[in-house]
């Protein structure tokens, strides 16, 4: 059974710092991995999607990496801003027709 773990559960960093959020999954046979952002009282916004054949994806100040063999992904946020404060969730799917399994998320707070 696939399990997705995100550490830390919460993180506070000063504005301007670079930071890394971690995601691990128990079954390395994944189809893809996605990182989402969730603002309080809101739905989820897809940030990056990495296919199983890819090692990383970049969008602006965000970079997500994937190491299938070790069951890990990281989300790197450069030059953090207060607007980056949100909960970040990662999610994996085993194959194209399988459901997506979510981690519990990391609550990120950027201090002005």
Partner 1 sequence: SAVISQKPSRDICQRGTSLTIQCQVDSQVTMMFWYRQQPGQSLTLIATANQGSEATYESGFVIDKFPISRPNLTFSTLTVSNMSPEDSSIYLCSAAGTVNEKLFFGSGTQLSVL
Residues near partner 1 (CB under 8 A) are 4, 31-32, 34, 36, 41-46, 49, 89, 91, 93, 95-100, 102-105
Beta 86-93 vs 100-102: how paired, if at all?
Answer: antiparallel
Closest CB 59 distance from partner 1, rounded Å = 12
- The residue (of 23 and 80) whose beta carbon lies closer to partner 1 is 23
Closest CB 103 distance from partner 1, rounded Å = 6
- The residue (of 43 and 60) whose beta carbon lies closer to partner 1 is 43
Closest CB 26 distance from partner 1, rounded Å = 14
- The residue (of 69 and 97) whose beta carbon lies closer to partner 1 is 97
**Contacts of 97 by beta carbon, 8 Å cutoff, 6+ apart:** none
Our CA angle for 23, 112, 56, nearest 5°, is 30
**Residue 10 CB-half CA count within 13 A:** 2
Give the C-alpha separation, 58 to 2, whole Å. 26
């Amino acid at each position: 059974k696939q399990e997705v773990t995100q550490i830390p559960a919460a993180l506070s960093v000063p504005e301007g710092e670079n930071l890394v959020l971690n995601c691990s999954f128990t079954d390395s046979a994944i189809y893809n991995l996605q990182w989402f952002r969730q603002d309080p009282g809101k739905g989820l916004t897809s940030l990056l999607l990495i296919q199983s054949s890819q090692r990383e994806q970049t969008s602006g100040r965000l970079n997500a990496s994937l190491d299938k063999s070790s069951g890990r992904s990281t989300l790197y946020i450069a030059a953090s801003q207060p607007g980056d404060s949100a909960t970040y969730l990662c999610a994996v799917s085993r194959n194209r027709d399988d459901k997506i399994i979510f981690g519990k998320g990391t609550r990120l707070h950027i201090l002005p």
